[in-house]
Amino acid sequence: MDARPNIAAARDKLLFTPGPLTTSSSVKQAMLHDAGSWHFEFNALVKRIRDKLLALAGLSSSAGYEAILVQGSGTFGVEAVIASAIPPAGSLLVLVNGAYGERIVQMAQYLKLRHEVLRTPEDAAPDLQVLDRMLGAEKGITHVAVVHCETTTGILNPIYQIGQIVRQHGRAYIVDAMSSFGAIPIDLGGAGIDYLISSANKCIEGVPGFSFVIARRAALLATEGFARSLSLDLLGQLRCFEKNGQFRYTPPTHAILAFEQALRELDDEGGITARGERYRRNQEVLAQGMKRLGFRVYLDPGVQSCIITSFRFPADPKFTFAAFYGLLSDKGFIIYPGKISQADTFRIGSIGRIFEADVRALLAAIGETIKEMGIRMN
């Protein structure tokens, strides 16, 4: 007897989170196939996806970059770069203004890499003058890493200005563009990026299962023998794609089938610009609606991205995040706890397969919820 619940029959709750994100039903349906990972059709699909990622990044196939898929969530892609790119005698400078920057520091610690950290408060961009001074004074630093959209708060870091300083000092540049690639155009050449990392289930709206790295080919080819991990050896993975078209180990075949459909739907929507506009509209409607309800945003609008927004807890002590979250979940909406160390906040994402009407429905549910909880918004 088949006792499985009919999951498809129930309407999924909408995810207003930094990931995993809501995906379209056609993306989910694309997974209803078993693909042989060694089969030529699947290998051709992987090649098409790698080429398409370069095209999305505005790079022609002769621009000198490679797109490399890495099994696992986004963090695995970042760790593949950190574990593979830095020479044995090298040193990594990490610019930190949130939890994802801290995670890169943690990777450096686990990998026993020499590293430095330049921390700024979670509501402030990295200090460019200090960066310039550090790179001038500390000749041992070979690589600089920064998070583009720090999903901790939603702050957008100035990757072009940072890249200019990194390039002036002749260092390599790593950008975690996990939550921005696919919605915010990024000029890798213009920013001087050597390694950019993103994943299947952020702005491209595929399902979770793999990340991808867009690497400057010459930089990556020069890392022979540097990898400190077998499964996360980025150059090893590229070599295998180039030798036989395959991942080195079992690929997330279903997630890749879904990703092909997600890429098609990104094109159908009008590409990165149109998707970014939808997210910007979602974020505007959200921020305005929340303000009307009496909530205050955490970030200055000048640095706020269209990806995710942090809101301060209402001052009324009757507010608890757990109760607020639970009542919204009952109404079909999933929001996200805060990750900020210095302030009590929660977060609402504006990315994934969600539209203005969904944001308006969420706002109505939030209005109802604060009434149910009896919270005075002042």
18 binds ligand PLP (CB under 6 A): yes
Tokens found for residue 338 = 């805060």
22 binds ligand PLP (CB under 6 A): no
15 binds ligand PLP (CB under 6 A): no
Toward ligand PLP, which CB reaches closer, 295 or 336? 336
Toward ligand PLP, which CB reaches closer, 179 or 345? 179
DSSP string for residues in 320-331: -HHHHHHHHHHT
Question: Contacts with ligand PLP: how many residues (CB under 6 A)?
Answer: 12
d(CA 211, CA 181): 12
How would you classify the pairing of strands 172-176 and 195-199?
parallel
**Binding segment (CB under 6 A) for ligand PLP, from list 7-15, 67-75, 224-232, 273-281:** 67-75
255 binds ligand PLP (CB under 6 A): no
304 binds ligand PLP (CB under 6 A): no
Toward ligand PLP, which CB reaches closer, 18 or 252? 18
Tokens found for residue 344 = 């009590």
Toward ligand PLP, which CB reaches closer, 91 or 151? 151
CB of 145 to ligand PLP, least distance (A): 11
CB of 339 to ligand PLP, least distance (A): 10
Toward ligand PLP, which CB reaches closer, 141 or 197? 197
Query: Residue 35: phi, psi to the nearest 5?
Result: -115, 135
Q: What are the angstrom distances between the C-alpha of 248 and each of 187, 214, 233, 336?
A: 29, 18, 10, 35
350 binds ligand PLP (CB under 6 A): no
Q: Which of 66, 176, 205, 358 binds ligand PLP (CB under 6 A)?
A: 176
| Residue listed under structure tokens 């696992």 | 72
Q: Which of 14, 16, 17, 19 binds ligand PLP (CB under 6 A)?
A: 19
Q: Which of 16, 65, 100, 181 binds ligand PLP (CB under 6 A)?
A: 100
Instruction: Dump strand ranges (E) for 217-323.
Output: 308-312
Q: What are the angstrom distances between the C-alpha of 200 and each of 63, 218, 271, 352?
A: 23, 25, 16, 11
Nearest to residue 144, comparing CAs of 115, 120, 186, 110? 115
State which of positions 188-227 bind ligand PLP (CB under 6 A).
Answer: 199
| Residue listed under structure tokens 């094109």 | 267
State which of positions 113-172 bind ligand PLP (CB under 6 A).
Answer: 147, 151
- Closest residue to ligand PLP, judged by C-beta, is 74
179 binds ligand PLP (CB under 6 A): yes
How would you classify the pairing of strands 195-199 and 114-119?
unpaired
73 binds ligand PLP (CB under 6 A): yes
CB of 325 to ligand PLP, least distance (A): 19
DSSP string for residues in 318-378: T--HHHHHHHHHHTTEE-EE---SSS-EEEEE--SS--HHHHHHHHHHHHHHHHHHT----
CB of 203 to ligand PLP, least distance (A): 10
- For 11, other C-beta atoms within 10 Å of its C-beta total 7
Toward ligand PLP, which CB reaches closer, 101 or 192? 101
178 binds ligand PLP (CB under 6 A): yes
Q: How would you class 106 by CB atoms within 10 Å of its CB: exposed for 0-12, middle for 13-18, buried for 19 or more? A: middle
Torsion angle of C-alpha atoms 334, 339, 340, 343, degrees rounded to 10: 50
Q: Which of 22, 71, 75, 304 binds ligand PLP (CB under 6 A)?
A: 75
Nearest to residue 84, comparing CAs of 210, 250, 248, 195? 195
Q: What does the binding site for ligand PLP look like in residue numbers (CB under 6 A)?
A: 18-19, 73-75, 100, 147, 151, 176, 178-179, 199
